[in-house]
Structure 1
């Protein structure tokens, strides 16, 4: 019960922090993407700092931080892994579901930092639109983050990887940096409770350009899942594996 109350206070103050930062940085964000990026980075660092002492949730990013023009294909378990990647990577922009553009504050700032919205549920059309948007935005260097499974996946749940990551990898001709995580153990997909522990995002060795689609997908899934399982095992999690369509 005490941890739940601490978690509730943590969630509420984060919502207030997002509102305050969103308002304070709004004039600069409307004029320049730099203002939007600074606002978002300030929020991510605030969340990581307050999590450490309010709910006992420490965060750690391992591996070389991607800094060039690369594709980051990341395991997605929690809102926290988004925050951790953004706080460390210099110019991250995310492939995101289009509905988020209409979320107060989040939608505006996501648009201003160059996130790429796609229509969820219309896979073929979404991939075509995603590729066109990425091509259009190449003038702005940065690190494009995609979640190959297409959504948050709870620890222990098996969900197939989608082809969008491979298509972006082929089109961009850039290295792909896989990323693993165990964040879902401490900050779940739903609910208020935040658990104490060490949440980790780990950047893995990059996959060089030029690999075929099927070998790329096999390597990406194998490496990300193995590293994520290892991080969860390090945190004491033994999964009862479930399959999710």
Structure 2
């Protein structure tokens, strides 16, 4: 089973990386000539939707997204749990005109950088820590004024399923300064497409948009509500998937976390 799934995963990566390079070059060339165009946007939408199709056909990983009705009209921040590359293109079709927060290293890549900037991506230099926040905020405000919805992964990097959360202050600063609602997003995709796994496993990766957090809260109250919403619902999605049966092997670390989660759920 594992050997066959490794082959299926390799085929997906071959298609995924190949078409990503082609689409990035095309959008990058368009961006350097004309900036943002309908064609470049159509190519971005194609890239996202086709990746989900290839995942299903080649690896058996299906996609389920719910809760879109919680996304308010107008500008907002969409704050998603980040467990794999899946979230990047799975939530894209539901975000209107998204402006993703992207690490600076990616924005320096040939073609990809111009392509990303033309699609409203906002770069952040994580090596500068808090010193990078003012520049990111300036670009985020401009994006909101253009009618974008800011998409941010509050922990800044992919996390293993049920790993202790490590939320950063960037999302708090953005919430306080932009004064717009924040829509938490829970996911369970790391069960199937792990950050360090060479195999993408069959199953159903889920993302769930949760009720928006209204502007005007204190920093402490906002962070508490954001973490509770994302972590509680992500845990529920993971537990539901595990109880339904996983095709992947479950190592001792994940098994221990699942048992702890089951105990907490039973006690509650």
Mapping of residues 188-207 of structure 1, within 5 Å: 188-207=194-213
Q: Number of residue pairs matched?
A: 242
Deviation at 1:27, TM superposition (A): 4.5
Specify every segment of 5 or more residues in structure 1 that has no aligned partner in the other structure, as ranges: none
Match of 2:36 among 24, 29, 33: 33
Corresponding residue for residue 2 of structure 1: 4
Q: Compute the TM-score of the two structures, normalised by the length of structure 1.
A: 0.91
Q: Compute the TM-score of the two structures, normalised by the length of structure 2.
A: 0.84
- SS across alignment from 2:49: helix
Corresponding residue for residue 185 of structure 1: 191
Structure 1, 152-161 or 207-216: larger mean CA deviation: 152-161
Corresponding residue for residue 69 of structure 1: 75
Corresponding residue for residue 121 of structure 1: 127
Residue pair 1:116, 1:130 contacting (<8 A) in 2 also: yes
Distance in 2 between residues matched to 1:118 and 1:25, nearest whole Å: 21
Distance in 2 between residues matched to 1:32 and 1:58, nearest whole Å: 34
Mapping of residues 45-64 of structure 1, within 5 Å: 45-64=49-68
Residue pair 1:71, 1:144 contacting (<8 A) in 2 also: yes
Deviation at 1:116, TM superposition (A): 1.0
Deviation at 1:189, TM superposition (A): 1.2
- SS across alignment from 1:157: coil
Distance in 2 between residues matched to 1:64 and 1:2, nearest whole Å: 35
Corresponding residue for residue 88 of structure 1: 94
- SS across alignment from 1:235: helix
Cα root mean square deviation, aligned? 2.0
Residue pair 2:28, 2:112 contacting (<8 A) in 1 also: no
Specify every segment of 5 or more residues in structure 2 that has no aligned partner in the other structure, as ranges: 244-253, 259-268
Corresponding residue for residue 42 of structure 1: 46
Of Structure 1 and Structure 2, the greater helix share is in 2
Alignment CA distance shift 1:23-1:134 (3 Å): closer
Is 1:18 equivalent to 2:20 in the alignment? Answer: yes
Alignment CA distance shift 1:106-1:241 (3 Å): farther
Corresponding residue for residue 247 of structure 2: none
Match of 2:224 among 215, 218, 223: 218
Residue pair 1:4, 1:192 contacting (<8 A) in 2 also: yes
Distance in 2 between residues matched to 1:139 and 1:12, nearest whole Å: 38
Residue by residue over 1:104-127, the C-alpha shift from the partner in whole angstroms, topping out at 9 and shown as x without a partner, is: 443332211111111113221121
Residue by residue over 1:177-223, the C-alpha shift from the partner in whole angstroms, topping out at 9 and shown as x without a partner, is: 00010111111113431100000111000011111110000000011
Is 1:141 equivalent to 2:147 in the alignment? Answer: yes
Residue pair 1:156, 1:240 contacting (<8 A) in 2 also: no
Distance in 2 between residues matched to 1:121 and 1:13, nearest whole Å: 32
